[in-house]
Structure 1
Amino acid sequence: MSGKESPWWAVYGRYGLVLLLTAAAVQNSAATAGGQYLTVRTVAAVLCAVALVVRRLPWFGAPLLATAATALWGWPLVPLLLVAVFDLAARRRTAWAVGCCGIVLAVGTMAPPAVSLWRPQQYGASLFLLLAVIGGLWMGNRRRLVEALNSQVEHLRVERELREQAARAAERSRIAAEMHDVLAHRLSLIALHTGVLATRADVLPEPVAQRLTLLRNASTEALADLRDVLGALHDADPGTGDVAPAPVLRDVRELIEQAREAGQQVDLQVEGRPEQAPAAHRLALHRLVQEGLTNARKHAADAPVRIRLDYGPPATIVEIVNAPGRAAEHTAPSGFGLVGLAERVHALGGHLSAGPHGAGSWRLAARTPHPVPLEQNGSRT
């Protein structure tokens, strides 16, 4: 048996086959011994059967026992020898299998005619032994091929899971880096206004002036912390050591105009105003449109693309549908962009779906609910 556990049906099938061949060997031995069943040949057949099914014995135990029994008592024990030779060939021990066959055939030339391997057919036993060796080699190669394919599939599965985890982590870092611009802009406004009010501290009550100074210092320190975090999140350029600038909060129309200039047919439908959606939603919407247009260029280069945007409230909705078309040539293999987008949308409490839509079309859609205002949330508690 191999070091790997075999399925239960294979184990019990082997037990049944060995039991059947043992019964045949006992019957044939009794026929050559004048109808007597309680003989040394019967004991030898049973011992060979036990050696073939017991896993804890050394691998050479069953072949040697079956070879010795067949050499001594001839063709009645050949069926058990066939199983032993088959196992040797399946384990890549072809030399041992051929050696066992050669021993029993050589000794069989001197055996009595009643149990000789060369009678009544001169080459009958040789043919069966040869088929056992060939069958064992084929089965062993097939088993190793299946194990190698299973191992490769498992390796690919683990590799894909690692890539998905890396894509999610990269998308989280990108979200944090993109939010830098939004937070930095608002903190800059707070610092600016508190600085202007601080210049009028002489006409303000002293507690108010102190709070304004504290607020300005806190906003300035928060801006410095944001710059440090941004430097840690961005990958440094190996050549210069500089960090890449943070992405800005751009309008989706810029992406669509660039796609149209490149020859892509894009139909845009917009409901609401961008200012109605939170900044994080607008960043996610920008990435969704970017990924949808990129996938459409890859897989349906000449097909029109329909984009519907709804800034809400109560939710930010984006839907990108491209008709079936011709795949672009010499495109890079698909990555894990949708995995990162799903991570981004789920982080905002939304839902993303991507898949076939209609007759060969492809649809990418996301719905992200707006956060509940603080005053409404406070009134519900």
Structure 2
Amino acid sequence: MSRKKSLLWARYGRYGLVLLLTEAAVQNGAATVGGQYLTARTAAAVVCGLALLVRRLPWFVAPLLATAATGLGGWPLLPLLLVALFDLAARRRAAVAVGCGAAALAANAVAPTAVSLWTPQQYGANLFLLLAVVGGLWIGSRRRLVQGLNAQVEHLRIERELREESARAAERTRIAAEMHDVLAHRLSLIALHTGVLATKADTLPGPVAERLTLLRTTSTQALTDLRDVLGALHDPHTTADSAPAPVLRDVRELVEQARTAGQQVDLTVEGQPEQAPAAHRLAVYRLVQEGLTNARKHASGAPVRVRLTYGPPATLVEVTNSPGTAAPDTAPSGFGLVGLRERVSALGGHLNTGPHGAGSWRLAARIPHPAPIEQNGPRT
């Protein structure tokens, strides 16, 4: 049941209780005067019941009316006073509730014996008044505790959503920056080779020389545009001298580093990395890196199996580790998988992580290759 439905049920339950107690007060008041309903005690019971039901009234109206009615009308109106005192105590007004109870008892000391709060048990009404105040204090404290916990859970949920969105945004920025490095490298090679060929334009046919000049100019302009658009995505503290080399690194180097650190890693590679697009190779490196890191953190000493498939129609990555023990100095889990899922989704693939078999953990990704571009010859 949701919190909203719980509040509705509690509100309707309170309305039903107040109506029931109001009817009981009217019946008991009529019984004390020989069955007559048109009395001041009946009117007082109805007015007190309405004051308890109307939520827009000032907070002191219902307790004041119930105290006066009970002090003058006696025990038939006591249940309505108990509800008013309960509400006061639940709203952190216990001192006012105690004062209202004492005032009702003092005023009722001179009431007729038939409706006196002091008979037949001299301290019976005192006990009921005390229980109403204590119960209100307990319910109020519990209600505030639940509200505080709900607010804390909502705050943590919002904070986690913001952190996940930040991780996704950081991963998008990293992807763009990496692709900037790769594309800039490729465009530079195109501009370089076309420039070399352009120096021998006198030995080439005229149309070919023109096309080479156009290709060199276009690649140079594309390189400039690419740097203008995506260059700002680099870390502003990273200079040209300290910038990392192009990120098309080999996964084998990563595996060797893990083995040097003591991990048992079994690597299986099918196909050649060149069969996959550059963006796929970047994603493969990040996926394997995250899988080895998680295995080292959460299954220390367990063997890890890495399987890569580069060939079409898709690039496949699978990192599986056997059960193990968490490292004693394990840092809190971050949002690496969130960023990886964003990276794989941006490439049109999907990432699955979770238990696999008897206590093992599996990270698997499938990234489909883009459709080949058809090369159509010149029309005649």
Query: Shorter-normalised TM-score: what interval?
Result: over 0.9
5+ residue gaps in structure 1? Answer: none
Once the two structures are TM-superposed, the CA of residue 182 in structure 1 deviates from its matched residue by 2.1
Contact 2:352–2:365 at 8 Å: present in 1 too? Answer: yes
The one-character-per-residue Cα deviations of 1:322-381 (angstroms, maximum 9, x if unpaired) are 011000012211111111101111111111100111111110000011111101899xxx
Partner of 1:233: 233
Partner of 2:363: 364
Partner of 2:71: 71
Partner of 2:128: 128
The one-character-per-residue Cα deviations of 1:15-44 (angstroms, maximum 9, x if unpaired) are 221122112212221222122222110111
Residues 242, 130 of structure 1: CA spacing in aligned structure 2 closer, same or farther, 3 A cutoff? Answer: farther
Structure 2: how far apart are the matches of 1:244 and 1:298? Answer: 29
Partner of 2:141: 141
The one-character-per-residue Cα deviations of 1:246-283 (angstroms, maximum 9, x if unpaired) are 55210000010000000000011111111111111010
Q: What secondary structure sits across from 2:320 in the alignment?
A: strand
Partner of 1:30: 30
Deviates more, 1:24-33 or 1:66-75: 24-33
Query: Is structure 2 residue 266 aligned with structure 1 residue 254?
Result: no
Structure 2: how far apart are the matches of 1:86 and 1:346? Answer: 56
Once the two structures are TM-superposed, the CA of residue 244 in structure 1 deviates from its matched residue by 4.2
Amino acid at match of 2:335: F
Once the two structures are TM-superposed, the CA of residue 197 in structure 1 deviates from its matched residue by 1.3
Structure 2: how far apart are the matches of 1:222 and 1:345? Answer: 26
Contact 2:118–2:124 at 8 Å: present in 1 too? Answer: yes
Structure 1: how far apart are the matches of 2:113 and 2:60? Answer: 29
Structure 2: how far apart are the matches of 1:241 and 1:72? Answer: 90
Q: What secondary structure sits across from 2:79 in the alignment?
A: helix
Structure 2: how far apart are the matches of 1:377 and 1:243? Answer: 44
Percent identical residues: 79
Q: What secondary structure sits across from 1:250 in the alignment?
A: coil
Structure 2: how far apart are the matches of 1:306 and 1:325? Answer: 14
Contact 2:182–2:246 at 8 Å: present in 1 too? Answer: no
Q: What secondary structure sits across from 2:269 in the alignment?
A: strand
Amino acid at match of 1:76: P
Across the aligned residues of Structure 1 and Structure 2, the Cα RMSD in angstroms comes to 2.1
Structure 2: how far apart are the matches of 1:377 and 1:269? Answer: 38
Query: Is structure 2 residue 342 aligned with structure 1 residue 375?
Result: no
Structure 2: how far apart are the matches of 1:246 and 1:260? Answer: 23
Partner of 2:342: 343
Partner of 2:309: 310
Deviates more, 1:209-218 or 1:131-140: 209-218
1:132-281 correspondence runs (5 A): 132-237=132-237, 244-245=243-244, 247-281=246-280
Amino acid at match of 1:156: L
Structure 2: how far apart are the matches of 1:365 and 1:34? Answer: 84
Amino acid at match of 2:325: R
Partner of 2:110: 110
Residues 52, 5 of structure 1: CA spacing in aligned structure 2 closer, same or farther, 3 A cutoff? Answer: farther
Once the two structures are TM-superposed, the CA of residue 116 in structure 1 deviates from its matched residue by 1.5
Structure 1: how far apart are the matches of 2:284 and 2:157? Answer: 30
Partner of 2:294: 295
Deviates more, 1:82-91 or 1:224-233: 224-233
5+ residue gaps in structure 2? Answer: none
Residues 5, 346 of structure 1: CA spacing in aligned structure 2 closer, same or farther, 3 A cutoff? Answer: closer
Once the two structures are TM-superposed, the CA of residue 220 in structure 1 deviates from its matched residue by 2.2
Structure 2: how far apart are the matches of 1:377 and 1:93? Answer: 85
Residues 45, 339 of structure 1: CA spacing in aligned structure 2 closer, same or farther, 3 A cutoff? Answer: same
Contact 1:235–1:244 at 8 Å: present in 2 too? Answer: no
Structure 2: how far apart are the matches of 1:230 and 1:38? Answer: 85
Residues 246, 193 of structure 1: CA spacing in aligned structure 2 closer, same or farther, 3 A cutoff? Answer: closer
Partner of 1:95: 95
Once the two structures are TM-superposed, the CA of residue 203 in structure 1 deviates from its matched residue by 2.3
Contact 1:235–1:243 at 8 Å: present in 2 too? Answer: no
Structure 1: how far apart are the matches of 2:196 and 2:245? Answer: 28
Deviates more, 1:325-334 or 1:367-376: 367-376
Structure 2: how far apart are the matches of 1:356 and 1:5? Answer: 36
Amino acid at match of 2:14: R
Structure 2: how far apart are the matches of 1:137 and 1:242? Answer: 68
Contact 1:351–1:366 at 8 Å: present in 2 too? Answer: yes
